[in-house]
Every structure is written in C-alpha cells, then in structure tokens.
Amino acid sequence: MSILDERLTDEIEALQAILLDDELRIVENDRGEPEVVEALVFPSTGEDSESQYVCVKLNVTLVPNYPDAKPIVSLRNPRGLDEDTVKKIQKDVDAKCEDFIGQPVIFELIELVREHLTTSNLPTGQCAVCLYGFRDGDKFTKTECYHHFHSHCLAAHVVASEKSYNEEQDKLPLWQKDATNKFQALCAVCREPISCDVSSLISAPPPLDVEAATGFVLTQELQEMQRQMAELYVYQQSRGGIIDIEAEESKLLLTTEDDPVDERPTPASTSVTTTSNNSATVQPKQQPPQQQHHSQNHNNHNSNSRQNHHGHHHGRNHHRGRGKGHVRRHLERIRQGDQTSR
Ligand SMILES: [Zn+2]
Ligand SMILES: [Zn+2]
C-alpha cells in the first residue's frame, strides 16, 4: 500500500470513528477506493439537537492524488442558511483546502463548517407563513426537513390545513370516505410530512414583527400605484385581456356529452368563474369532436346539473377553482362510474 493510500485510509478511519453513521457517507469507486466523502454538518449545540436550526452537507470529491492535490469541495442542501452565508463558507473551505495541500483536510473542513454553522445558528430568511423574519425572542420551530417557522405560524398553518382536509372529507359521499386516510401535516415549504404538536405550538406568541407591524395606510405612493394599475386595466381591457371581471362572469362552462341535458339556468355570479379562456381552448384537443364546449353567452348550463349528480355533497361553490375545474369534472365522472358499478 502506498503512502498516499495510508494517509487517506487513516483519515477515513478517523472520520468513521468520530462521526455518526448518519452523518457520514463514503462513496467508493469500482475499485473499492473512497471517491466521495459526504458529511452532514450541524452547529455545535452540545447534546441539544433540538436547537440546531441550520445544517449543510459537505461534499468532498477526492482527486486521484489526494491529499497532495486538493479535493473538490461543495456545500449541498444548506438549511436555514442564506446564500451569502453559504458563499462565505464555501470561500473559507476553498482557502482551507489550499492551506492543507499535502495533508488530510476533511476533518478540518468539517470543523470549519461547523464553526460557521454555530455562529449562524439562527434561521435566516423568512417564515414562509407570515413572510416575516426571525427575531431574537421569537418562538420558532424547525421541522424534520430543516425548514423554520414561527411556532405560532406553523400551528396556524397546520390547523388551517387540517380544517380544509376535513372539509374536503366531509364533502365526499359516504361510500368514498376512508376513515384510515388520516390528516397528515405537511411542511409549508417543501411539503414533506411533518409531525408537530399543535397544542403546544399554538400557545406561542405571534412573531414580534407581526405584532409590531403598523396598520395599513393608503399612502400617496400607493394611490399613485393604484392610478397606474387602473390605467393598465383599461389598456388590458381594450386589448382583450382576461382580467375583465364582468366578462369573466358571463363566460361559459364547458359541457361534455355525458353531462345530462338538465339545463336549468344558474345565476351567473355563482357559476361561471370555473372556466377560463385557456381551458376553453385546451379542452377540445382532449375530446372527440362531438363533445364540443358550448359558447353561450349568458348563463352557463352545467353547474346545476353537476350538482344534481352528487346531491348536497357538492355545493357549486366548490367548483370554482379556475383551471382545476375540468380535471375535477373528469374525476367526478370517474367516481360516478364507480358509483353506478356498485
Ligand atoms: Zn411566521
Ligand atoms: Zn420542509
């Protein structure tokens, strides 16, 4: 075994002894030699892993004559760190590699990154719920996926999601209800499943910035902006833009052949927003020619008939989601098929 190999194998052995299994990953090449060393680095907070708000993956690619040549190091999956901090760490890491040419450097790098993380062990950026930052004194929570929220905000997010989940469940007909399909809270940033104790989070005070925020004042600047928007609106209208609220209201729903011909008029204001110009132009491609969408100009014909299918479970207000409308209708037809086959 060459001297180089020994320096490297000693280093790897030391890393394996120091780091926990889930903090270290060594990728070997097809000759069984270590090629990439990946370490998950946390700030030092003693035993208290609950108060680690940041982390980053240090990825070290070993070049063939490492440690006499410097490895290629990158920082991946930074959590709770802003871009500038990551850049700064990267710069220091590169300098350290330069300094340590000829000597094993990975442990040094880990320590260096850990120092940085320890000093910036406060979530940077904003809470994705209230869009305010984190202040000293704010109560905040770190999810399993290392995203941060004010505890107050996270509780509000979970409570609201559960409420809307339950509402969706209540809308389902009995035969479709699945009691085993329980609500799962998801991270508001990455949608990973998270577990959190809402009852304790909810007692946290609202974020300081939210509390300190002043009420809305219509400043001159805003008035000027409103004036510009009003002009833009008139312009868009004259160009056939689609944000004309009145025109939106008299727009039409698509009808398809398997919808029954129950054409009771519906008040326009409650029904028509489901369809946009977009879906009207896209839809025909997916349909046989005889299933045309109808372009009547007054009341639309569909929302009532759809309601009849599903009785009181589906109020027509629930069909108002723009764009999702035709997907939902499609799903409903499938469900309907299910239902009749039972
Ligand atoms: Zn917040
Ligand atoms: Zn997340």
pLDDT of residue 48: 76
Assess contact for 116 and 82: CB atoms under 8 A.
no
The residues whose Cβ lies within 5 A of ligand 2, an ion, are 145, 147, 187, 189-190, 192
Going from the Cα of 192 to the center of ligand 2, the distance in angstroms, rounded, reads 6
Helix (H, G, I), strand (E, B) or coil at 70: coil
Cβ-based neighbours of 61, under 8 Å, separated by 6 or more: 35, 36, 71, 72, 73, 74
Instruction: Name the closest ligand to CA 191.
Output: 2
Cβ-based neighbours of 258, under 8 Å, separated by 6 or more: 333
pLDDT of residue 25: 95
Going from the Cα of 192 to the center of ligand 1, the distance in angstroms, rounded, reads 18
**C-alpha angle 193-199-201 in degrees, rounded to nearest 5:** 70
| Alpha-carbon distances of 66 from 18, 40, 74, 94, rounded to whole Å | 21, 21, 16, 15
Instruction: Name the closest ligand to CA 131.
Output: 1
Instruction: Name the closest ligand to CA 79.
Output: 2
Instruction: Name the closest ligand to CA 186.
Output: 2
Assess contact for 196 and 154: CB atoms under 8 A.
yes
pLDDT in tens, the chain (342 residues): 445 578 898 999 999 999 999 999 999 989 888 999 999 999 988 777 777 888 999 999 999 889 999 999 999 999 888 888 999 999 999 999 999 999 999 999 999 999 999 888 877 678 999 999 888 788 888 888 888 899 999 999 999 999 999 998 888 888 888 777 889 999 999 999 999 888 889 899 999 888 888 888 889 999 999 999 999 888 888 887 766 566 666 666 665 666 555 545 544 444 444 444 444 434 444 444 444 444 444 444 444 434 344 434 433 344 344 445 555 555 555 555 544 443
Going from the Cα of 211 to the center of ligand 1, the distance in angstroms, rounded, reads 11
pTM score over 0.75 = no
338 half-sphere exposure, CB direction, 13 A CA radius? 10
Assess contact for 71 and 105: CB atoms under 8 A.
yes
Going from the Cα of 152 to the center of ligand 2, the distance in angstroms, rounded, reads 16
Going from the Cα of 127 to the center of ligand 2, the distance in angstroms, rounded, reads 11
